[in-house]
A = this chain, B = another copy of it.
Amino acid sequence: MPPRPHPARDLREACVDQALAIIGDVGLEALSIREVARRLGVSHQAPYKHFPSSDHLLAEVVRRTYRQFSEHLEARPRSSHPGEDLKSMGEAYLRFAIDHPLHYRLLFGTPLPDPAAHPEMMAEARRAFQLLHEAIGHLKPPTSETDRQLDALFVWATVHGLATILQTAALDQIGLDKVVLAEALPHALHRIGKALAP
């Protein structure tokens, strides 16, 4: 009788897993509560017993994706040299964006559910930014907290902007050399290094 110790929890988990699978396979556009239910062989209303609305399902999916993202950044090759460590992080950031384009777009390229209504989702986002913040903290000589935040924002913006731009299919049409695309991140990291130098 107890193959399902927590059947309810199970369905909730299964919904999130299926949603992630759909997004990874086909993209966010194809995600719908009914499709999730269909794949799980339950009625189209069953997921509503665990998520008040489709936004709540999406928020949970986003939360987990942020967590995966943070874990990916934390698993980067570490370096005791702060400058090298920051580069390593930039590379890990962009690698995630390239290896999981659909998941990355989920985080940064689509309208998210209202953040105020889903604080748990934002807690995970904050954690990712915290990682960058720390790496910057090691890099710079002791300075004001404001300055550190400003530099963290600067670095984040550059890497994130690059990831977004490189992912826009638009890019093929914009007429950039292949060399440029390949060199974009190293070059940007080099520029960042120069910008942050004492």
Contacts and interface: CB of A to CB of B under 8 A. Distances in A.
- Report whether over half of chain A's contact residues are helix, strand or loop; otherwise say mixed: helix
A27 B183 CA distance: 36
Interface in A98-122: 105, 108-112, 114-116, 119, 122
A115 B196 contact: no
A177 B112 CA distance: 23
A162 B176 CA distance: 22
A146 B29 contact: no
Given A115-B173, A149-B176, A149-B180, 12 more contacts: A27-B111, A119-B173, A126-B173, A150-B180, A153-B176, A154-B188, A158-B161, A159-B161, A160-B164, A192-B195, A194-B194, A194-B197
15 contacts: A108-B168, A112-B169, A115-B168, A115-B172, A116-B173, A122-B173, A126-B173, A146-B180, A153-B180, A154-B162, A154-B184, A154-B191, A157-B159, A157-B184, A195-B195
